[in-house]
Chain A
Amino acid sequence: MKQKIKPKVAFFDLAGCEGDQLQIANLEEKILDLLNLVEVVSFREVMKEHSDDYDIAFIEGSATNDHAEERLKEIRKNADIVVAIGACATIGGVNSIRNKQNHEEVGERVYGDNAELSELYISWEKAKPVDAVIKVDYKIHGCPIDRDEFLHVVESLVVGRVPNIPDYPVCVECKLNENVCAFEREEFCVGPVTRAGCDACCVNEGTRCWGCRGLIDNPNEEAHMEVLEEYGLTPEDVMKEFDLYFTWQKEARENE
């Protein structure tokens, strides 16, 4: 296959920990394959240069203020394809935990007595995923993202096919790996409503799924809340299970 023009790609970050960009910067030998496919014109994590001429924009982090909104709109204007990477960008991630809490208290907790004065805490009451502000074409889920899945998405976009992102629960991969289910180890798990694609890596390591890849498109949340209660969680703890990663998605679904 001959490749004529390499698409230009740029990376941007909003409110997040940059863990996803770090995953990409750490692609090691595969980074060269990647650079054969695309031309990186902007990537703060690894280079100083920046250009506004790009085809594909990868955005990490949540939108939390007007400045982020302006940046996103600018990016949407410049890019043909916008890809949200990592839970903060795809589903609001852990940033959204605060969405249900008192805004001022959150500020005080983070910035102490200086919260009101702090220039740093100019923030909306709610942290939002990128697609709550602009149209997003593709999402690479996870907290952080999976490197192979990132490469798969880039490869798919370059050859012009739709990336293969699972829309079934983590339980599928968990079974393929023949794990003992968390519920049979007297633990809890949100795998039954969480999107697969990570190969159930946390359960493979003997723990459980916390939901970092977000809800599948059509989760049976009611059933899972019922089940969690049957397995002994209080209604409050059931809510906590859903609040770690699903706050934004759940609210959006309730308002549908």
Chain B
Amino acid sequence: MKIIKKDDLDSFVDYLIGSDPREVVGVKERGSKYAFDKLKSSKELRLDYDVTILPPKKYLLPQRETLLKFKSNDKIKTEPVNEVNGRIIVGVHPYDLIAIEQMDRIFSEEPEDPNYLKKREATVLIGVNMKNTSERCFAGSMKTAFTQDGYDLMLTDLGGKYAVEIGTEKGKELLKKSGVALADAGEEDKKMIEEKKRSLTFESKINFEPSDLPELMKSNYDNDKFWEENADNCYSCGTCNLVCPTCYCFDVKDLMEVTLKEGSRIRQWDGCLLEHFAEVAGGENFREERAQRYRHRYMRKGLYLHNRFEDIACVGCGRCSSQCVPDIADPAEIFNKLKEGKI
């Protein structure tokens, strides 16, 4: 573990912005909220943020992405598209790093998703431990508030200086190349980190072990009354899917230029809360009712992904909860109610 002074960290970030061929993005203010965005200077970086509107998955699985271009003169010619620009992402919280590790597993499954994996390979992740937590974050009880892996570098604010944990060779190289001044962490620093970790508090939590979730969800699949009552105010707006760091669904569309000579195949984020998500050719919809769609998301988070990857696919970031306008998408609240047998 190393120690870097606050000013030196700024210089390091400015060095990356100025000298690294890759795009450097980090957490910036957006109105009264925060968002990952292109950095022009270390001054824009807000490592004390609570949560961003969208998770950093947007850099690995962009909101809209071209997969294929086609030309149709006499014959149809197709050409796969996989735009990869390396990127350094600064300021990723542990729960988002854990979510990215889950995505890595999903997109590496056969058939592999080259558009995701190429971007992932070309990405450097500089994490930061949470200094502030958002009102709806329940990462503490989901065991996702800290992580030992998934980052190239990991920062912890120690007031005036940062601790730097080196996760990979990539991260080590980056520091070395910049020539930034680093000191070795002493016992005092390590104690301070432990102290910081201990004092991190969360306003929200689940009242039981996350490992109990799969069983809990399984036994409540048929709890129709629960799902119907809780989904009553659902808009089917998909916000809870779109802002979630572990949701990975997309829709594929073919678009044609008005010249009728060329076009493209694109993918765009989709979500299982949207009414037509499970509709197939012929008009059959496998989850026609709001409550069915509403239940599906919780099942995915607590049970289905666990069946396939042994992951609990909710990292407790609280984005769904804070951005659902009717405020009915809080997993902590739903999981706790189910556990207590309430409606």
Interface residues of A (CB under 8 A from B): 1, 3, 30, 33-34, 36-37, 151-152, 154-156, 158-159, 164, 167-169, 171-172, 175-181, 183-185, 192-193, 216-220, 223-224, 226-227
Residue B333, interface by CB 8 Å: no
Whole-angstrom distance between the alpha carbons of A178 and B239 in the complex? 11
Chain B residue with the shortest CB-CB distance to A218 = B275
Please state if B234 and A180 are interface contacts (CB–CB under 8 Å).
no
**CB of B48 to closest CB in A, whole Å:** 18
Q: Is B305 an interface residue (CB 8 A)?
A: no
Interface stretch, picked from B94-102, B112-120, B253-261, is B253-261
Contact B233 A226 (CB under 8 A): yes
4 residue pairs, one from A and one from B, having the closest CB atoms? A180-B31, A223-B233, A171-B237, A175-B242
Could you write out 10 A-B pairs with CB less than 8 Å apart?
Answer: A154-B258, A168-B236, A171-B325, A178-B53, A180-B32, A181-B323, A218-B236, A220-B235, A223-B326, A226-B326
With an 8 A cutoff between CB atoms, is B243 at the interface? yes
**Taking A167-B276, A175-B242, A175-B243 as contacts, is the C-beta distance between A223 and B258 under 8 angstroms?**
no
| CB–CB B32/A185 < 8 A | yes
Which B residues lie within 8 Å of A226 (CB)?
233, 326
Which A residues lie within 8 Å of B158 (CB)?
Answer: none
- Which of A36, A216, A223 is within 8 Å of B232, CB to CB? A223
Q: Which residues of B come within 8 Å of A, CB atoms?
A: 30-33, 35, 53-54, 58, 63-64, 72-73, 232-239, 242-243, 253, 255-261, 268-269, 271, 274-276, 290, 323, 325-326
The B interface is mostly helix, strand or loop, or mixed, namely loop
Q: How many angstroms between the C-alpha atoms of A36 and B236 in the bound complex?
A: 40
Looking at A34, A164, A192, A226, which has the most chain B CB atoms within 10 Å of its CB? A192
Known contacts A178-B35, A220-B233; is A227 also within 8 Å of B275 by CB?
A: no
Number of A-B contacts (CB under 8 A): 106
Given A168-B274, A218-B275, A155 and B258 contact (CB-CB distance below 8 Å) = yes
- Does the CB pair A183–B325 fall under 8 Å? yes
CB <8 Å contact, A223 and B234: yes
Q: How far is the CA of A185 from the CA of B31 in the complex (A)?
A: 9
**How many angstroms between the C-alpha atoms of A216 and B271 in the bound complex?**
16
Q: Is A155 a contact partner of B260 (Cβ separation < 8 A)? A: yes
With a CB–CB cut-off of 8 A, which chain A residues contact B235?
169, 171, 192-193, 219-220, 223-224
5 A-B pairs besides A30-B258, A167-B276, A169-B237 with CB distance below 8 A are A168-B237, A168-B275, A172-B274, A220-B235, A220-B290
Query: A163 to nearest B CB, angstroms?
Result: 11
CB of B258 within 8 A of CB of A33, answer yes
- Residues on the B chain within 8 Å of A192, using CB: 235, 237, 325
* B53 engages A171 (CB within 8 Å): no
In angstroms, Cα B262 to Cα A1, docked, is: 10
Whether B64 and A176, one on each chain, are in contact in the complex, defined by CB atoms closer than 8 angstroms, is yes
- Residue pair A227, B325 in contact (C-beta under 8 Å): yes
**A180, B236: Cβ atoms closer than 8 Å:** no
Is there an interface contact between B233 and A178, defined as CB atoms closer than 8 Å?
no
Which single member of A167, A172, A180 contacts B33 (CB below 8 Å)?
A: A180
Contact across chains for A164 and B253 when beta carbons are under 8 A apart: yes
* Contact, CB under 8 Å: B54 / A178: yes
Given the complex of chains A and B, what is the CA–CA distance between A158 and B261 in angstroms?
Answer: 13
Q: Of A151, A164, A185, which is within 8 A of B258 by CB?
A: A151
Determine the chain B residues whose CB is within 8 A of the CB of A227 once the complex forms: 233, 325-326
